[in-house]
């Protein structure tokens, strides 16, 4: 129950044992097409260029940044956690002219600050994180995407901890490019990075003055393999793609709305459980991310000792804080196949034992009763 990778469904394990076949085998190409269609459904987009790049979420990030930005392009990057800063670093490596909009960790980016920053220049791209895994903040997007649209800038969105777990409407929200990973809410192993590029984004790539600096992640070249031309680009991993495909089929069978509802309910149960126990969440209720919950570490409790105890005694992994939040929060993931009511109850009970071990008393009965009420409601 950390920030990922999460447990995977037995059917996804089964898919990992599929025979290894060639990347141009007709039946494999059908599977790649199906991955594209199911990713369109999951991203809620009609973008033709939608598939999965090889590599983890960071490869999706690099694909989006390296294709949209070239030397001298102006990019506004919103940073209110660890991963926004990674986009900034990548944009700077493209020799883009980067303006960083710094926000407080644990809060979303403020649309007014975006408006103010946009008024200072002509930006090609606004980059931001939908679900900041380091802080547990879910970024509201409608205001910022309207501001970017009115400005003429493209939105580059990290959906690593939101795709398949919380509502994400790429077309309706006017997102130009987005990327994610396979190992969180999608429910597959790490190793694939779903990406989607709008027609507008593809036109911008086609009109670049310089070739994309990453050959491997050049979206034009990748699309010649994903699209009808079927030009060899790299030895696509059938093992990873069949696992991703099975995970996407599971999402399709569950239904997106039902899936979001499941994630939300388990998150709500966890929050009332935590608060019932007398602990506090980092993030204000309206910006809490259902898939990644940040719990404030109570005074006097040793972070590493507690997480070590959970792992040793209960085989339960939770995440520690990153960057500015190191030692201040625990990060509890409820994503994909692992977003289960029994995991909520198990976590609260195990946490109570781990706190007691350090002499910290929590009101576990109140917490469990409150959680059960949500889960049974
Ligand atoms: C929001 C966010 N973006 C990017 C990444 C990088 O993904 P990966 O570790 O799969 O490369 C992560 C990883 O947890 C993340 O949480």
Cα of 319 from ligand 1 centre, angstroms: 13
pLDDT at 94: 98
Atom of ligand 1 nearest to the CA of 129: 1
Pocket test for ligand 1, best of 87, 161, 195, 322 (most atoms within 8 A of CB): 161
CATH number attached to the domain at 10-254: 3.40.640.10
How far is Cα 103 from Cα 96, in angstroms, rounded to an integer?
21
Q: What are phi and psi of 294, to 5 degrees?
A: -105, 115
Cα of 55 from ligand 1 centre, angstroms: 11
How far is Cα 85 from Cα 218, in angstroms, rounded to an integer?
22
**How many Å separate Cα 308 from the centre of its chain?**
26
Task: Report whether 107 contacts 81 (CB < 8 A).
Answer: no
Task: Report whether 74 contacts 120 (CB < 8 A).
Answer: no
Cα of 276 from ligand 1 centre, angstroms: 31
DSSP conformation class of 241 = H
Which residues have C-beta atoms less than 6 Å from ligand 1?
3-4, 56-58, 61, 83, 129, 133, 158, 160-161, 181, 190
Which of 56, 72, 356 minimizes the C-alpha distance to 180?
Answer: 56
Residues in the chain, overall count: 377
Nearest CA to ligand 1 atom 7: 57
Task: Report whether 264 contacts 185 (CB < 8 A).
Answer: no
Cα of 57 from ligand 1 centre, angstroms: 5
Atom of ligand 1 nearest to the CA of 132: 1
Structurally, what CATH architecture does the domain formed by 256-376 represent?
Alpha-Beta Complex (3.90)
Cα of 360 from ligand 1 centre, angstroms: 33
Which of 22, 28, 54, 48 minimizes the C-alpha distance to 36?
Answer: 48
Per-residue pLDDT for the chain (377 aa), expressed as one digit of tens each? 999 999 999 999 999 999 999 999 999 999 999 999 999 999 999 999 999 999 999 999 999 999 999 999 999 999 999 999 999 999 999 999 999 999 999 999 999 999 999 999 999 999 999 999 999 999 999 999 999 999 999 999 999 999 999 999 999 999 999 999 999 999 999 999 999 999 999 999 999 999 999 999 999 999 999 999 999 999 999 999 999 999 999 999 999 999 999 999 999 999 999 999 999 999 999 999 999 999 999 999 999 999 999 999 999 999 999 999 999 999 999 999 999 999 999 999 999 999 999 999 999 999 999 999 999 98
Q: In what order do the strands lie in the sheet with 177-179?
A: 49-54, 192-197, 177-179, 154-158, 125-129, 74-79, 97-102
- Residues forming CATH 3.90.1150.10 domain(s) in the chain: 256-376
Other C-beta atoms closer than 10 Å to the C-beta of 202 total 19
Task: Report whether 109 contacts 141 (CB < 8 A).
Answer: no
Name the token pair of 279. 């602990």
pLDDT at 377: 87
Atom of ligand 1 nearest to the CA of 193: 10
Task: Report whether 375 contacts 341 (CB < 8 A).
Answer: yes
Atom of ligand 1 nearest to the CA of 133: 16
pLDDT at 147: 97
- Residues forming CATH 3.40.640.10 domain(s) in the chain: 10-254
Cα of 72 from ligand 1 centre, angstroms: 26
Beta bridge partners of 156: 127, 177
pLDDT at 257: 98
Atom of ligand 1 nearest to the CA of 134: 16
Burial class (CB in 10 A: 0-12, 13-18, 19+), 63: buried
Atom of ligand 1 nearest to the CA of 59: 11
Q: What three-state secondary structure class fits 17? A: coil
Cα of 3 from ligand 1 centre, angstroms: 9
Which of 278, 284, 64 minimizes the C-alpha distance to 177?
Answer: 64
Pocket test for ligand 1, best of 58, 89, 217, 333 (most atoms within 8 A of CB): 58
Cα of 20 from ligand 1 centre, angstroms: 27
């Amino acid at each position: 129950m950390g920030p990922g990778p999460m447990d995977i469904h037995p059917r996804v394990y089964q898919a990992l044992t599929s025979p290894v076949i060639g990347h141009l085998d007709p039946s494999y190409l059908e599977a790649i097409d199906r991955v594209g269609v199911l990713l369109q459904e999951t991203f809620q987009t009609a973008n033709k260029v939608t598939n999965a790049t090889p590599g983890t979420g960071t490869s999706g990030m690099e694909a989006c940044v390296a294709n949209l930005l070239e030397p001298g392009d102006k990019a506004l990057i919103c940073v209110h956690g660890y991963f926004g800063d990674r986009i900034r670093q990548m944009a700077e490596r493209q020799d883009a002219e980067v303006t960083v909009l710094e926000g407080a960790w644990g809060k979303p980016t403020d649309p007014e600050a975006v408006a103010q920053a946009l008024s200072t220049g002509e930006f090609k791209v606004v980059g931001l994180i939908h679900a900041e895994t380091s802080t547990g903040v879910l970024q509201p997007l409608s205001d910022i995407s309207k501001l970017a649209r009115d400005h003429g800038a493209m939105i580059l969105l990290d959906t690593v901890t939101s795709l398949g777990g919380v509502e994400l409407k790429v077309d309706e929200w006017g997102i130009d490019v987005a990327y994610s990973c396979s190992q969180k809410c999608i429910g597959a192993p790490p190793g694939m990075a779903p990406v989607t590029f709008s027609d507008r984004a593809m036109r911008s790539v086609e009109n670049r003055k310089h070739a994309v600096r990453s050959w491997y992640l050049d979206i034009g070249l990748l699309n010649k393999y994903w699209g009808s031309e079927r030009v060899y680009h790299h030895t696509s991993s059938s093992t990873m793609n069949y696992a991703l495909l099975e995970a996407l089929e599971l999402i399709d069978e569950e239904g997106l709305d039902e899936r979001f509802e499941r994630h939300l309910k388990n998150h709500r149960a966890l929050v009332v459980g935590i608060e019932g126990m007398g602990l506090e969440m980092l993030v204000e209720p309206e910006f809490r991310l259902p898939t990644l919950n940040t719990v404030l570490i109570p005074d006097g409790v040793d972070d590493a000792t507690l997480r070590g105890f959970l792992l040793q005694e209960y085989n339960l992994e939770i995440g520690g804080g990153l960057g500015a939040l190191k030692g201040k929060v625990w990060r509890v993931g409820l994503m994909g196949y692992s977003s289960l009511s029994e995991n909520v109850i198990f976590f609260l009970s195990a946490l109570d034992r781990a706190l007691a071990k350090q002499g910290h008393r929590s009101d576990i009965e109140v917490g469990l009763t409150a959680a059960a009420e949500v889960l049974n409601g």
